């Protein structure tokens, strides 16, 4: 275990300067709320779907750097994807977080830096909270 | 003075895990070898059931199990039939709240507080909902303490139950239980006390506190997990409806109904937690051999030192500087407790981050979560130096991004 495998510059950049943060007052968005009861982290994710394509993602919440940054990374990773492909990406992300082999052709970009989380079992819930939220929204 | 080096030798984990700066004893204490040996000995030499058998091994197992009950009874100054073995404090507290579903009526009031662990709060929330009784919260003072004065504000003729903690698991404050119980009894209300945090730190005398029910867990007092105790006054226990029915507790069984035995067997349906009870008995002997005075002296010194060191770090907000028990709850400015805890873990420092199963405390403090350091007899000044250095490094690390 090396702390620098967990806290990568990319992650901390997303934590300090998150993308797509802030909810919108627009009824065409689906709103999903998720929390982690053991640590008090909570996140709201908004999802705008159009003809099976993710047109927009917004998020807002309180949590640790891993949790908040992963919401930002989730939003840029899944933006403009079809819902079918998004579910595949989400699944590969879960595999990677658990330390299992994953398909780097499906899961690409900044999300890869969360590989280090697998060494920190206590933080898996943090890294997946926003992803669980959007997964639930897509499957609704 | 206490020789911590010698005491640490009694805990085998210090030979197994290095480095280990264990600062989470409020969650669970470490286990000494004598407790493990006592449980192993039962499994190796007996391993059979209690109460039911007609052979030598089962007599011996029953003796050990019932001897553990006597040890608990003596330890808290109760009678043996007032000591029920449970799975833990959580189960014990649930048993009391569950039984009161048959007793409370709409309009009755249950007094509790925002300091309660979820195991004391939620069972009464459910009982209140099912009976139409009302949950009433003691207004905490500015620091977050329960005071006799504030308790008196909510006590009324409607009060039937007072369900509170002896020592807060999140803030380390001691509740003035004796005086609160006296006042509650004037209104004919019963007091159910969560003693999970206090029992490993101070002598508990149920006659002196005069509470009606009291619950604690073995694993926070050097015993195994999976064993706990419900103490109840004899005259009340036999009125409580058991939460579970089954073997051994049944007295006379017919087609349509069965009668049940008196306490404590009344509440111990099925094969009990035999090795756990024996382990708990051994843990109590371990505490008695150390002596509460020595434990207290050692921990007071470390506690004061820790507070002084934390106050030196200007980015730290301390939430319970005046705690009577060695539990310190704090945050570091702009860094989430989970991030700090992961950093500390790399240095072998184990702390708790979150809301400590007492979410109303986080709401009271108006923070999503906190860091908690809690101490016990095996902790050393070195543990605290390592913690303080690691906190400073963590602050630097997370500020570097």
What is the per-residue pLDDT across A95-111, written as a single tens digit (0 to 9) for each?
999 999 999 999 999 99
B211 and B352 fall within a common domain = no
Please give the pLDDT value at position B342. Answer: 93
DSSP tag of B270: S
Please give the pLDDT value at position B355. Answer: 87
Which of A40, A63, A64 lies nearest to residue B362, judging by beta carbons? A40
B191 and B126 fall within a common domain = yes
Establish whether the linkage from the previous residue to B264 is cis, with ω within 30° of 0.
yes
Q: Which two tokens stand for residue B245?
A: 């029915």
Q: How many domains does chain B contain in total? A: 2
Options 3.10.20.30, 3.90.1010.10, 3.40.50.300, 3.90.1150.10; CATH for A3-139 is 3.90.1010.10
Q: Does A117 touch chain B (CB under 8 A)?
A: no
Whether the predicted pLDDT of A1 surpasses 80: no
B83 and B121 fall within a common domain = yes
Q: Show me where the domains of chain A are located.
A: 3-139
- Of B256, B288, B320, the residue that ends a domain is B288
The pLDDT tens digits for B325-350 are 999 999 999 999 999 999 999 999 99
Mean pLDDT over A55-81 rounds to 96
B61 and B180 fall within a common domain = yes
**B220: domain range?**
35-288
In 10 A of CB A9, how many CB atoms?
11
ipTM, interface predicted TM-score of the complex = 0.89
Please give the pLDDT value at position B1. Answer: 58
Whether the predicted pLDDT of B5 surpasses 80: yes
B249 and B140 fall within a common domain = yes
B297 and B198 fall within a common domain = no
Q: Which residues of A touch B398 (CB under 8 A)?
A: 7, 12, 65
Mean pLDDT over B19-35 rounds to 98
User: Measuring CA to CA, which residue among B370, B378, B291 is closest to residue B337?
Assistant: B370
Mean pLDDT over A15-37 rounds to 94
Radius of gyration of chain A, Cα coordinates, nearest whole angstrom: 14
Let me know: does A43 contact A61? Beta carbons within 8 Å.
Answer: yes
Q: Which residues of A touch B345 (CB under 8 A)?
A: 1, 122
pLDDT band of B74, cuts 50, 70, 90? very high
Angle between helices A65-78 and A124-139 (to 10 degrees): 40
Q: Are the beta carbons of A65 and B336 separated by less than 8 Å?
A: yes
Mean pLDDT over B43-65 rounds to 94
Q: Report helix, strand or coil for B141.
A: coil
- Of B263, B288, B313, the residue that ends a domain is B288
B149 and B8 fall within a common domain = no
B24 and B40 fall within a common domain = no
* CATH number of the domain that residue B349 is part of: 3.90.1150.10
Tokens 């090795």, located at residue: B275
Q: Report helix, strand or coil for A70.
A: helix
- For B136, phi then psi, to 5°, come to -120, 130
Which of A12, A39, A67 lies nearest to residue B353, judging by beta carbons? A39
d(CA A2, CA A128) in angstroms, rounded, equals 20
Q: Which residues of B touch A122 (CB under 8 A)?
A: 338, 341-342, 345
Q: Are the beta carbons of A42 and B355 separated by less than 8 Å?
A: no
B172 and B247 fall within a common domain = yes
B295 and B284 fall within a common domain = no
Q: Which residues contact B133 (CB under 8 A, 6 or more apart)?
A: B104, B105, B106, B107, B108, B109, B110, B127, B160, B161
Predicted TM-score (pTM) of this structure: 0.94
User: Measuring CA to CA, which residue among B77, B127, B95 is closest to residue B192?
Assistant: B95
In 10 A of CB B315, how many CB atoms?
13
Please give the pLDDT value at position A4. Answer: 85
Q: Which residue among B154, B313, B318, B357 is the active-site one?
A: B357
Q: Which residues of A touch B341 (CB under 8 A)?
A: 122
Q: Does A63 touch chain B (CB under 8 A)?
A: yes
- Of B261, B288, B315, the residue that ends a domain is B288
pLDDT band of A15, cuts 50, 70, 90? very high
Whether the predicted pLDDT of B391 surpasses 80: yes
Let me know: does B49 contact B271? Beta carbons within 8 Å.
Answer: yes
Angle between helices A65-78 and A83-97 (to 10 degrees): 150
The pLDDT tens digits for B303-323 are 999 999 999 999 999 999 999
Radius of gyration of chain B, Cα coordinates, nearest whole angstrom: 22
Q: Report helix, strand or coil for B368.
A: coil
Please give the pLDDT value at position A37. Answer: 76
Q: Are the beta carbons of B338 and A2 separated by less than 8 Å?
A: no
B370 and B276 fall within a common domain = no
Q: Which two tokens stand for residue B378?
A: 């095996």
Q: Which residues contact B284 (CB under 8 A, 6 or more apart)?
A: B71, B72, B75, B221, B223
B158 and B189 fall within a common domain = yes
């Amino acid at each position: 275990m090396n702390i620098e495998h967990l806290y990568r510059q990319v992650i901390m950049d997303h934590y300090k300067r998150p993308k797509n943060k802030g909810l919108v007052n627009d009824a065409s968005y689906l709103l999903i709320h998720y929390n982690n009861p053991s640590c008090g982290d909570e996140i709201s994710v908004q999802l705008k779907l159009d003809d099976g394509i993710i047109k927009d993602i917004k998020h807002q919440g309180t949590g640790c750097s891993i949790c908040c940054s992963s919401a930002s990374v989730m939003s840029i990773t899944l933006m403009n994807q079809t819902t079918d492909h998004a579910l595949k990406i989400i699944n590969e992300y879960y595999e990677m977080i658990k330390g299992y082999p994953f398909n780097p052709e499906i899961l690409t970009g900044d999300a890869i830096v969360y590989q280090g989380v697998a060494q920190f079992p206590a933080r898996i819930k943090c890294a997946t909270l926003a992803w669980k939220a959007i997964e639930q929204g897509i499957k609704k | 003075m206490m020789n911590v080096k010698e005491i640490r030798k009694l805990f085998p984990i210090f030979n197994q895990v290095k480095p280990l700066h264990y600062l989470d004893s409020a969650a669970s204490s470490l286990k000494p070898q004598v407790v493990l040996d006592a449980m192993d000995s039962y499994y190796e030499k007996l391993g059979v059931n209690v109460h039911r058998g007609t052979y030598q091994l089962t007599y011996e197992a029953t003796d050990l199990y019932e001897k553990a009950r006597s040890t608990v009874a003596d330890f808290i100054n109760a009678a043996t039939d007032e000591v029920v073995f449970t799975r833990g404090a959580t189960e014990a507290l649930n048993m009391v709240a569950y039984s009161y579903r048959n007793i409370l009526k709409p309009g009755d009031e249950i007094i509790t507080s925002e300091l309660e662990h979820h195991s004391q709060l939620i069972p009464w929330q459910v009982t209140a909902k099912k009976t139409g009784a009302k949950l009433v919260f003691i207004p905490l003072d500015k620091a977050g303490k329960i005071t006799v004065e504030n308790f008196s504000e909510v006590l009324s003729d409607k009060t039937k139950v007072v369900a509170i903690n002896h020592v807060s698991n999140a803030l380390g404050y001691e509740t003035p239980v004796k005086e609160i119980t006296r006042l509650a009894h004037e209104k004919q209300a019963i007091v159910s006390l969560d003693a999970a945090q206090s029992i490993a730190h101070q002598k508990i005398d149920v006659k002196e506190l005069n509470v009606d029910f009291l619950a604690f867990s073995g694993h926070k007092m050097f015993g195994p997990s999976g064993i706990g105790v419900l103490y109840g006054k004899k005259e009340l226990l036999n009125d409580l409806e058991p939460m579970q029915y089954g073997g051994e507790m049944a007295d006379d069984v017919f087609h349509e109904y069965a009668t049940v035995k008196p306490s404590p067997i009344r509440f111990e349906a099925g094969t009990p937690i035999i090795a756990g009870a024996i382990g708990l008995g051994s843990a109590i002997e371990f505490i008695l051999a150390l002596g509460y005075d020595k434990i207290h002296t050692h921990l007071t010194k470390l506690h004061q030192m820790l507070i002084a060191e934390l106050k030196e770090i200007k980015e730290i907000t301390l939430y319970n500087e005046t705690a009577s028990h060695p539990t310190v709850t704090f945050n570091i400015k702009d860094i989430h407790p989970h991030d700090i805890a992961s950093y500390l873990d790399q240095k072998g420092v184990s702390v708790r981050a979150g809301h400590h199963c007492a979410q109303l405390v986080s709401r009271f403090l108006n923070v999503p979560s906190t860091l908690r350091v809690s101490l016990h007899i095996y902790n050393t000044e070195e543990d605290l130096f390592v913690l303080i250095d690691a906190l400073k490094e963590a602050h630097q690390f997370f500020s570097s991004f």
